[in-house]
Amino acid sequence: MRTMLFTAAHYAENGTGRITSRLGVSAEAELYRENDKLFERIAESHKANALSCVFVDEAQFLTREQVWQLARVADRLNIPVMCFGLRTDFQGKLFPGSSELLAIADSLREIRTICHCGAKAIMVVRRDPEGHALTEGAQVAIEKSLYVSLCRKHWEEETGRIQPGQFRAF
C-alpha cells in the first residue's frame, strides 16, 4: 500500500518533514504550508502512482480550505484521509483546522493522553523556559517541548483560571 504522508512546515528541519511517533518510529513526510493546494498535490501523486491512503500529522495547522480539499480527496478520489493533531491551543481555543475537521469529518477517534494525575488529558499548556504556564501569546509556537498535556482541572490550575483546591466536592 502506498501512503502519502504530510506534516506542517512549522516543524521542518532543514526543509525536510518527518513524522515521529512517541515510540520513536519515524518516516519522512511531505510538508504543507498555509497556501498549498493539497487536493492538487495528492491528485497529481495519485495519477502518477496510485495512493491507498493520505496521512496528515499536525492537522491543527491546516486551513479551513485545506480541510475541504482533503474531504474532496476522500469523496472524489476515493482515497481515505486520516488527520492527526491537537483540538485546542494552550489557551483552550480551537485551532481553525481542528474546528473545520470537527465540523466535517466522517468519523472522529480520540487518541488518549494521560495527565500527570492519571486523568484523561484533553488540554495542553505551554510553558516558558522557567516552567511557568503561558496564558497569552501567539497561537503557534514552534518549540514542541514547551507543551504539556493536562486534564482540564490541572490546566485550569496551571493557567491561573482557578486556584488549586478552590472547589471541593461535597
What is the DSSP code string of 67-81?
HHHHHHHHHHS---E
- Among 58, 100, 156, 157, the active-site one is 58
How wide is the angle at C-alpha 52 spanned by C-alphas 51 and 57, nearest 5°?
A: 90
CA distances, 87 to each of 60, 75, 109, 129 (Å): 7, 23, 12, 24
- How do strand 81-83 and strand 53-56 relate by DSSP bridges? parallel
Annotated active-site residue 40? The verdict is no
Active site (catalytic) residues: 58
